[in-house]
Amino acid sequence: MDAFDYVEPKVAPPRRSVGPLIFNILTIIVLVMALCVVGFAALIFINPQSSINPFPPPTQITPMVFPTETTTPRPILPPTWTPAPTLEPTLTETPRPTPTPWPSNTPYGGTPTKAGPTVTPGGMSFVVKAGTIKAIPNFIHPDAGCNWMGVGGQAFDLSGAPTLGLEVRLGGTLEGRIFETQPWVTGMSPQFGPGGYEFTISDHPIASKATLWLQLLDQASLPFSDKVYFDTYSDCEKNLILIFFNQVK
């Protein structure tokens, strides 16, 4: 056998491959990008209105706030409320005029004067105020309404002030019968005024033509006016006759 020197061949070291290194670098890059994407998404989720959000949600409209209605409380009255009493006016008595002597040719009581717009003085101190004999609805006794008929008015002195304390008489005939009442005094019926008087004639309207009369007298029952005759009516709208007297001397 031939002798051979066995020489073990040297094997060249394997060449290092760069492929795994590149793969690892790419993997790291992908992981970093993924983390960036996750962080970007988290920021947008937390704050959708962020400037980095390419698709921000629409801006919400601020709701309108209407003012709340406020109720003003009503004033509370005390438990017991009593209106203040109204003081009644005090009548001031006007000095009575001095009786004037009658002319010798004037009969006692004067000449009866028919109702009309103007009464001509017959030498008396008082005459009917022009245009004041009027028939109107009963406003003095509203509860009675048409179940009442009467006459009333006032007397005034030379200055136009109400005259108190004069005697007023109502007489004549009504429906064929003599009609006479108790005398009244001016100032005792203030519903017609400070110098007011009033007579009730009937409990229903009655028509008559100058059969009833009124006359003013002083405290000695001497006439201060002529007998003033007046008409009455069966109309409920004319069941109150107004007659006013004026002093002329």
Q: pLDDT tens digits for 61-112? A: 555 655 565 665 555 555 555 555 555 555 555 555 544 444 333 333 333 3
Residues sharing a CB contact under 8 Å with residue 4, sequence separation 6 or more, in sequence order: none
Which of 203, 85, 69 minimizes the C-alpha distance to 144? 203
pTM: 0.50
Q: For 118-153, how does the pLDDT look when each residue is reduced to its tens digit (9 = 90+)?
A: 344 458 899 998 887 999 999 989 899 899 999 999
Of 231, 229, 196, which Cα lies nearest the Cα of 215?
A: 229
pLDDT of residue 51: 74
**What pLDDT score was predicted for residue 188?**
92
Domain ranges across the chain: 18-57, 126-247
Using CA atoms of 139, 141, 143, 148 in order, give the dihedral in degrees to the nearest 10: -100
Does residue 38 carry a pLDDT above 50? yes
Q: Tell which residue, 202, 213, 239, has the closest CA to residue 119.
A: 213
**pLDDT, position 119:** 40
Q: What is the mean pLDDT of residues 158-179?
A: 93
Task: Provide the CATH topology of domain 126-247.
Answer: Immunoglobulin-like (2.60.40)
